[in-house]
């Protein structure tokens, strides 16, 4: 099984704050791997380093063998990144936005059409793709942005709170699409989420990170058994209380 993400002894320091404190983990092709933890635990910083937006203070991070610092350009060609607070171009229609984003990746006009057709299915926005993004609700924008991240079929999708702002029905739709794409196209997915139901449904393995350190790692079922918990929220609460 291909290693999609290889993180070793990763450290990121901001002034006096050690945001990431020597974490190590791997993610495989076709695997959905979740980073969970309290606010300020280091999840988003980790994702930004893997997306080549931040450079680590020390340690290494590789995406399909490419070093995220030395080979950043190559990494960007094979990933998609969805930040928690991502925005879109409000004056464009949803379809125009998707066509614009697809044009950076597509080799020809047929590729653009194919990607936009994929995105239309993922988003479920239907005729609203012809409307300007400024008329969209927060949830509609989020569905558009998730579609943008997946339509290119990246080798690695980095998703920070992918269903943020979505109602239950559309959150379920997006989760099913993420799972389907990971399995069908062997896309590695690295997600961060506060929604333990989402994590339990989506993730093959998870790591609980707190104060910049990974405290536990395993499958949801392994961790529930280890902590005699009925769900991941109970695991989360137990681990954080034990480690302070």
**Tens-digit pLDDT profile for residues 36-85:** 988 888 999 999 999 999 999 999 999 999 999 999 999 999 999 999 88
Give Cα 145 distance to the centre of its chain. Answer: 12
The predicted pLDDT at position 244 comes to: 61
- Give buried/exposed letters for 41-74 (b at 16+ CB in 10 A, else e): bbbbbbbbbbbbebebeebebbbbebebeebeeb
* For residue 86, pLDDT beyond 90: no
pTM listed for this prediction: 0.94
3-state SS of the chain: helix, strand, coil percent to 5? 45, 25, 30
Helices (H), 104-209: 109-123, 138-150, 168-185, 196-202
Which one is predicted more confidently, 158 or 238? Answer: 158
Q: Give the pLDDT confidence of 182-237 residue by residue, as tens digits.
A: 999 999 999 998 888 899 999 999 999 999 999 999 999 999 999 999 999 899 88
- Name the DSSP class of 181: H
- Name the DSSP class of 135: G
Query: How many residues are there in the chain?
Result: 244
Q: Give the pLDDT confidence of 109-129 residue by residue, as tens digits.
A: 999 999 999 999 999 999 999
Distance CA 120, CA 23 (A): 37
Q: Which helix (H) or strand (E) holds 63?
A: strand 58-63
Dihedral sign for Cα atoms in the order 176, 180, 183, 188: negative
What structural domains does the chain harbor?
3-243 (3.40.50.300)
Distance CA 85, CA 76 (A): 19
* For residue 1, pLDDT beyond 70: no
């Amino acid at each position: 099984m291909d290693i999609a993400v290889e993180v070793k002894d990763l450290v990121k320091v901001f002034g006096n704050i050690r945001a990431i404190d020597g974490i190590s983990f791997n993610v495989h092709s076709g695997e959905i791997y979740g980073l969970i933890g309290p606010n300020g635990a280091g999840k988003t910083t980790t994702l930004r380093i893997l997306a080549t937006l931040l450079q680590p203070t020390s340690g290494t991070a590789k995406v399909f063998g490419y070093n995220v610092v030395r080979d950043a350009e190559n990494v960007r060609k094979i990933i998609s990144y969805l930040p928690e607070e991502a925005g879109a171009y409000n004056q464009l229609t949803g379809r125009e936005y998707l066509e614009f984003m697809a044009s950076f990746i597509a080799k020809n006009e047929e590729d653009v059409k194919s990607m936009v057709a994929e995105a239309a299915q993922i988003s479920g926005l239907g005729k609203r793709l012809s409307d300007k993004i400024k008329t969209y609700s927060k949830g509609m924008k989020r569905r558009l942005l998730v579609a943008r991240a997946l339509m290119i079929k990246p080798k690695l999708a980095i998703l920070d709170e992918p269903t943020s702002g979505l109602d239950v029905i559309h959150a379920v739709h997006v989760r099913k699409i993420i799972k389907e794409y990971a399995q069908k196209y062997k896309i590695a997915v690295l997600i961060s989420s506060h929604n333990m139901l989402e994590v339990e449904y989506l993730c093959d393995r998870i790591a609980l990170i707190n104060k910049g350190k990974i405290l536990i790692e395993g499958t949801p079922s392994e961790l529930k058994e280890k902590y005699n918990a009925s769900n991941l929220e109970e695991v989360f609460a137990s681990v954080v209380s034990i480690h302070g």
